[in-house]
Structure 1
Amino acid sequence: MNKYAPPVSLGPDTTIEHGFCPMILFAGSGYSSYLWSDGSTADSLVVSESGSYWVQTIDMFDRITSDTINIIYPSLSLPDTAFCLTDTVTINTGLNHAYTFLWSDASSDSLLDVFAPGEYWVEVTDSTLGACSVRDTFVVAVDSFPVLASLGPDTAMCTGELFALQSQTGPGYTYNWSTGSSDSAIVISGPGTYSLTVTNYNVCTAIDTVDITIKGVRPTPIFSYGTVCYGDSTNFVDMSYTQLPDGISNILFDFNDGDSSVQSNPFHSFAAPGDFPVTLQVYSDSGCYADTTISVHVRSLPTADFLPLTGCENQLIQFSDSSEAAEGNIVLWDWDFGDDSTSNVQHPLHLFDSVDVYYTTLIVSDVYGCSDTVSLPVNVRITPDVDFEYDESCLGTSTYFTELTDVPPYSPIIYRRWEFGDGNYSLLQNPQHQYDNPGTYVVKLLNTNISGCTDSIEKVIAVHPFPVAGFISDTACETYTVCFTDTSSVLYSTITERLWNFGQGNMSADSIGCTIYPDTGYYTVSLTVTSAFGCSSVANKQIYVHPIPVADFSITPEYGVPPLDVQFYNYSTGANTWIWDFGDGNYSTVEHPQHTYIVENIFNVTLVAENEFTCTDTAYGNVYLIPSSLDLVLSNLEVTDSSGYYYLYVEFFNNGTRNIREIAFDARIGSNVPVRETWSGLLLPGQENTYTFTSAFLNPDNENIRTICVEGTVLDAYGQEDETPEDNTVCFALSSEFFIASVYPSPADDYVYINIALPDDGDLELIVSSEDGKIVREGLFTDQDEGTLRTRINVQNLAGGVYVIRARYMDKEDVVKFVKE
């Protein structure tokens, strides 16, 4: 926009070296308005004097611009002046001869010599074509100081008295005394002639001389006083003196308030504080006089005042000293609260313990000891006794607050405010509030009664968090104990109660809850935890109970001597990994491992079978690398006849030192073909067991068949012989007669075994004789029980041949033969 409406410009500052003609200041055209420093509104301004000129314009865009220019003309300014009587003065315009001059006396030089006082003027014309001129007027005065200044006539004075110019005194003078002093006055020290040369401000000089005689010594006026506070009397003490033989004839204190005293040590009370000029006039016996004036100060008193004039009982009232000091600072405060309590603090705190009007007095003293006293009534009103109670809560539930403030009926609560410590507040009397976060909060209740007294109380409350319930567990396997570990936590507290519900009817309150699941499947486990405050949370988790494998194995052989190669057969089901512990520090993960034992011992073998769910089962076995004996004993045979069939029940035990796992039982009725059934299990050394035949045997109804016998054979002996095979057979007599049921083996080598049916209790005699009738063995069995007697006969030393066994029982006898190899 400046291209079309440039800012206004008056050009550079201008100094006119010669001439007085006016010049025109042109602001330029194209502006909608002008305003000059003299208030004119044209586009130009005519000036003829030195000065600073400005113009302000508004352009076509309504923009306001301004500029200032300084103009300097040649100066013609002649000041008024004066000259001393009998002297002249030359007036100089300060301009050169390029100008023409015309003075009031018609002279035309640039200078004018003036000899007489009066009013003069000069007109100066420049040499320009316009021949412009200016005129100035000035006044010239004559100073008569040289003839008017005087020391006065010759006089008699007192030594020590001041002597000065008696007329035409004034400021700005210079003095030159004959004593050498340049002061305006000198002290007369003795008689003589004194002269003074004095020059005034117009540099006019006067000279005068005086003769002085001495009439005595000037007394020295001195007095002292104490500065006092308004209202107190000031004590003045005269201490004036003079030289002997002169003495003080009289004195006068002039207090300049219309009162005076001729006493030497007067007291005087001034009517107001302030400064008072007190003059002491002293006269000597020789008529010499002196005086002195001292400004005596009477100090203003401070103004005692304080606030407040109301308060509340049992609350600290902050008293504020509002006293004003007139002079100096207030430095002492003396409070009396009207309840036998005092303080020296400027702004004291004070507590009134009961409702009343207490006249409180404040005395203030300033640094000069000036004091003032004020006593004002302080109205102490009743204060509410604020209190409240609350119910702590768990997070997410409301905390209930109950106001318990105690106030009389005549001073009810008109305003209350609860601040809950979390940025929230309430104006209700008994509010409830729900917090967003657990923790401790400072709750404040503020009450204001109708008297304007306010009190508050703060209490710390706790918002208890709910526990974060949780738990972890191992893999759950059926029929195995699975334990659940509580991982719950709670802020600012502890878990004090737990309740496990395992989902199958079992419960627990332990921190680690353990249970057994009898079946596979899904179960929902829940844990309820309760914090010390009583906040409870529940964690639920669904678990799956996995099936367990069934570990089983066999050992072949189970007994032997080192080195012994043993084959282990794994019969586990539901497993995919196996860990064998052979009991000698060696392990294997092969399904059907083989292992060689090289030392004697009983080795405990363990098989751990594990499925894909890490559920395990364990089977145990032993490998016996020790000398062992095999001795199966069939101890009893029970036969039951039911509906024409015989049912057999065999009792047997392991009389050896090795385990028996499989036994073949051969049952024979008479000489019929035996019926074999097999027992499988584990019969430990010294352990008894029973077997009931599943087969039923038809009653032959034949009196010649008098016995049923069962023979047991160990099938897992792997070549080891039964040490006492004679006890491997047990018989049951079908007849109630006495008879020899069986003799075996025949032929016999070392022993022959015999089963004899005894119908009643009694004694039995056995005789073994050769075929020719020679008795080779005999024995008596006394008090035998009814049933089948089984015994062994040693035939190791008998020669080979046929032998006869004769059994005698009561009055009966039975005979049977056997062959000795």
Structure 2
Amino acid sequence: MSVNSTTPANCGASNGSAVATVTGGNGPYSYQWMPSGGNSAQANGLQAGTYTVYVTDGSGCMGSDTAVVQAGAANATVNITSTHVSCTGGSNGSATAVASGGQQPYTFFWPQLNASTQTVTGLPPGTYSVIVTTANGCTTNASVTITQPAPLALSSTQNDALCFGTATGSATVLPSGGTGPYSYQWSNSQTAAAVNNLAAGNYFCTVTDANNCTAVINVQINQPAQLQLSLSQVNHVTCFGGSNGTATVFATGGIAPYNFAWNTNPQQNSATGLNLSAGSYTVTVTDANNCTTTLVVVITQPQQLTAASATTLVHCYGGSNGTATANPSGGTGPYSYQWSSTPQQFTQTATGLPAGNYTVIVTDNYGCTVSTAVNVSQPPQLNAAMSNVVNVSCNGGNNGSATVMPSGGTAPYAYQWSTTPQQFTQTAANLPAGSYTVNISDMNGCATVSSVVITQPAPLVVVPSGTDTICPGQAVIISANASGGNGGYNYFWTQNLGNGQTHVVNPGSTTQYVVTATDNQGCVSAPQSVTVYVYSFTVTDVNITTPPPLCSGNSTTFTAQVTGFTGPLTYSWSHNLGSSPGPLTVSPTATTTYTLWATNGCGITVQKPVTVTVNPLPVINLSPQSATGCDEVTLVFADYNPNNSGCTYSWNFGDGGTSGGSNTSHSYTQGGIYTVTVVVTSQAGCTGTASSYVTVAVNASPVAGFNATPDPATTLEPTVYFVNTTTNAATYSWDFGDGSSSLLANPVHTYAQKGVYLVVLYTSNASGCYDTAMRVVEVEPEFSFYIPNAFTPNDDGKNDVFMGEGQEISAFEMLIFDRWGELIFRTENPLEGWDGTVRGGSEIAQQDAYVYKISLRDHRNKQHVYHGTVSLIK
């Protein structure tokens, strides 16, 4: 074998090659180049140097040969000179590539800058590379880093102005970074690093370094807030001429603490000036920086307190309705008052004052006082006397009069007499006999009372005599006697008898004679009469009040009246009722007739009967009863007396219960002995009463009850647990409503199918009492729904349709979407599934995952929504 071809390695790279040619031996051949070159007949990527190739044939025979790869064209050597950025953030750096060696001419390429010049300028800080290529294509890479100085940074120190509005501040700028030395230029034209005599404000300093890089800093000189004084509280002098004023100032701004100075004598040095009289005061405040300001404080005083007075007179002598009013001025309101009255008064106006001298002390809001004397006067005492009194001439007349004469008080006067109607003049006229008072009041309402008695003669009275009863044809003497009045009497009679004191009369029938008398003053007596009765022989009517029917044992009353049978009568009754016309009270035990006989003075008699009807009382018999029962005992009560037909009944069962009717019943809920009373009223209104006793024993019944859990049960959990809540029971019997039963107290029952079952619990106790409880137990179907996650629509009869399976579904919708959101199937029939076709077509959709949305309602109308994916598998 031999190596018969090589190519040199150029530009110092690994790009040489060698080719081995084999003759002889038995193929196939394997190759191995050393120290590198690979395992094929041609070795590539070789640097300049010597290489050996080992060849092995198909029989294991080995041969070798050596090849020399020569060095080709050389690379250039590259150095870079540079200038750095002068100021931070600048772009004035530059770089120059200097090449030597290799074959000229050279070409230069700066890849970051896409520049092909030997020198690049305007460079910001950074690392830059250059590729230098010789004339025969060899390349050399070199790089350079362009730097920048540290940033020119400025800081400062400053001292603020001491007082508001002064130029006492200073500032110093401290540079770092950049390239020293530094120069300074302030916005107030100063050129040193430190400046003085600065007022409050903003100052700008521009610093320039040796590379002419600049930075600007703003220095703010502050000043204290303006030192100010304000008046926070002032208390002026309270009383005229006093010195109890105070004032408090409040300092703001400047620098605390503060010192105060008042121009008082002696000087005061606190924020509050004390014991100040009226006037102007200057207070000076000095802060910690010795800054000062002043404030003028004016202390005032009220006008001098004075009090004038005004009074009203006492209206009536000895009265106490005088008033006095103090009218203060000056001082400081509000005012308080103290009067020397008894009791003392403390209002501006004192009231209810009797006549006299008073003193009022007025005190203003600050306790300043002034005293004023006040006199309250009164009028003379009001009196009255009677004059010109005229008495009544005839008894019962009204021609009396009286005049009252007032004195004292305050005219004019008003009068009010106690006459009927009242009179309001000084003289009261037309007065009947009697005592009168007159109230006299003056213009101030002061009053006095005077009285007078108006007399009259005794009443003129005439008294006739001669009243008698005569039989027809007889005569009788009548006469009259007068008294009272003024004497000198005259008499006048009616029935044409004329004047005269005495007359003889013989009337044919009962006659009334009237007589009047007059005295010497013309006073007339009241007429009086005398009647002469003449018996009659006929009776117009005899009337006896008919009593209503009464009940046995009761009483009734009746009265007799005879008319047309003149003259005095005498009466006689049967049954020993006496000699009075009535009213008479009788109490017959049976229906009875009573007879009256009436006789006049002439011996004529008349009779009249009256019947009193007596109704019997109802009779009822009650017998004692006894009974035993559960919860309540019902007894029957009845009246079996046939004579009580048509009667009404009122039963009282002794426990507060009542009833009516001849036959009734009553239920007792509590055991005991009860008195039963019945009142029977007949149609005639007569009542009979009967009572008896009943003995009742009431045993408590069980109170049946139970709970069922769960309620409702379901077809998946059909077992119901019954919890017995019955009280007072000994035995239990259950009917579960499905043909099953139990005698347990708390049974457990499993229902075979859904439905609504009426469960009944029968209970009893040792007393033989029982109770029943019932309730409905429902076994509901249980909602369920299952959805597969894949199906295979290949018509093999197995899993060909995608659909959910469940029970108790009342409303349904299923939607199928492809992965792009297109609706490809919809149904509202829960028994209809998706057969894999698109919108009812004939082709099965591609194998993929499809999105379903199933909405349905269960048997309780609860909404269920299911989202998911189903895989269609072919």
Q: One fold, TM greater than 0.5? A: no
The structure showing larger relative contact order (alpha-carbon pairs under 8 Å, at least 6 residues apart) is: 1
Structure 1 length-normalised TM: 0.24
Structure 2 length-normalised TM: 0.23
